[in-house]
Amino acid sequence: MTTPCIDLRNVRCDIGGRTVLDIAQLRVAPGERVAVIGHNGAGKSTLFRLLTGFMAPTQGSAQVLGRDLGRGLGARELRLLRQEVGQVMQGLHLVGRLSVRDNVQIGALARVPGWRSWARVFPAGEVARAEAALQQVGLLARAGARADQLSGGERQKAGVARMLVQGPRLILADEPTAALDPAAAAEVCQLLAASAAGATLITVVHNPALLPVLARRVIGLRQGRIAFDLPVDEVGDRQLLDLYRPADQEPVAHWHISTAPLRAPISESTP
């Protein structure tokens, strides 16, 4: 078997003495398309922070693209890892005062050393690459505009373009459509899925309708633990209702991924 893109074992993350993420095992193979769903505070963003090295696991072993995050990476190793991990976040993650073009070129920083990257005078090849990325997301006409003047949808597209320029092996998209209207959300998701090409794509989404566009596999997070890990066409209302039920409410049924049939009849009564 090839080295998994992500390999988490018995990983626990504590913030201020509270466990926010507790994952027994999670493996994602290269090129997989995975969606992570769960209510607010279920640990989705913590998972992403862990995978990008912005947060170290309190215990357990975490490997991303063959690098071990468990023992705390050095600044250089962390940069090498981040070079290969593209991120698309929910809005507002552009540098507002820079132009769209400058923001997209930020994706190339790891390849452009020295004064050129400080003065934002990028070599011709990188400029062409940024233009191509802007063209691909349909933002070329807005390349000169300041990023804080873009609409929500345009920002997300700029984020996708920046990710394209970066050319990562693993793409993490944290609710890339949170602030968008349905049409723009669908458009950004299509773009994201198309631009991921051969890379591994992990997306946090709230809208179940977008799951098939972005993923083959769906992981449900609940209170920091993996509640289910299913192929996308086996995720139905039942799993979603169970996943998003309030914390003080009993499960919809005595159902567990390891013991219950994957497609339990809906009619089963609530205990």
Interface with another protein (CB under 8 A), residue from 81, 130, 133, 158: 81
Considering the complex, what minimum distance in angstroms separates the CB of residue 51 from another protein? 11
Q: Residue count at the site for another protein (CB under 8 A)?
A: 31
Does residue 119 belong to the site contacting another protein (CB under 8 A)? yes
Does residue 118 belong to the site contacting another protein (CB under 8 A)? yes
- The interface with another protein within residues 36-75 (CB under 8 A) comprises 52, 54, 75
Residue 111 or residue 216: which is nearer to another protein going by CB? 111
Q: How many other C-beta atoms are found inside a 10 Å radius of the C-beta of residue 267?
A: 5
Does residue 223 belong to the site contacting another protein (CB under 8 A)? no
Does residue 200 belong to the site contacting another protein (CB under 8 A)? no
CB 94 within 8 Å of CB 158: yes
Helix axes 152-166, 182-195, angle to 10 degrees: 0
Does residue 95 belong to the site contacting another protein (CB under 8 A)? yes
Q: How many other C-beta atoms are found inside a 10 Å radius of the C-beta of residue 200?
A: 22
> Based on C-alpha coordinates, what's the Rg of the chain?
20
CB 139 within 8 Å of CB 161: yes
CB 130 within 8 Å of CB 165: yes
- 151 three-state secondary structure: coil
Residue 85 or residue 204: which is nearer to another protein going by CB? 85
Interface with another protein (CB under 8 A), residue from 19, 58, 63, 117: 117
Does residue 85 belong to the site contacting another protein (CB under 8 A)? yes
Rounded to whole angstroms, the Cα distance separating 225 from 137 reads 35
Mode of pairing for the β-strands spanning 33-37 and 217-222? parallel
Question: Residue 76: in which H helix or E strand, if any?
Answer: helix 75-84
How many residues does this entry show for the chain? 271
> Contact letters (x/-) for another protein, 143-182, by CB under 8 A?
-------------------x---x----------------
Residue 23 or residue 89: which is nearer to another protein going by CB? 89
Binning the chain into helix, strand and coil, the percentages to the nearest 5 are 40, 25, 40
Considering the complex, what minimum distance in angstroms separates the CB of residue 80 from another protein? 7
Stretch that binds another protein, among 22-30, 93-101, 178-186, 193-201 (CB under 8 A): 93-101
Interface with another protein (CB under 8 A), residue from 100, 106, 189, 226: 106
Interface with another protein (CB under 8 A), residue from 82, 169, 225, 238: 82
Rounded to whole angstroms, the Cα distance separating 271 from 268 reads 9
Residues engaged in binding another protein (CB under 8 A): 52, 54, 75, 79-87, 89, 92-98, 102, 106-107, 109-110, 117-120, 162, 166
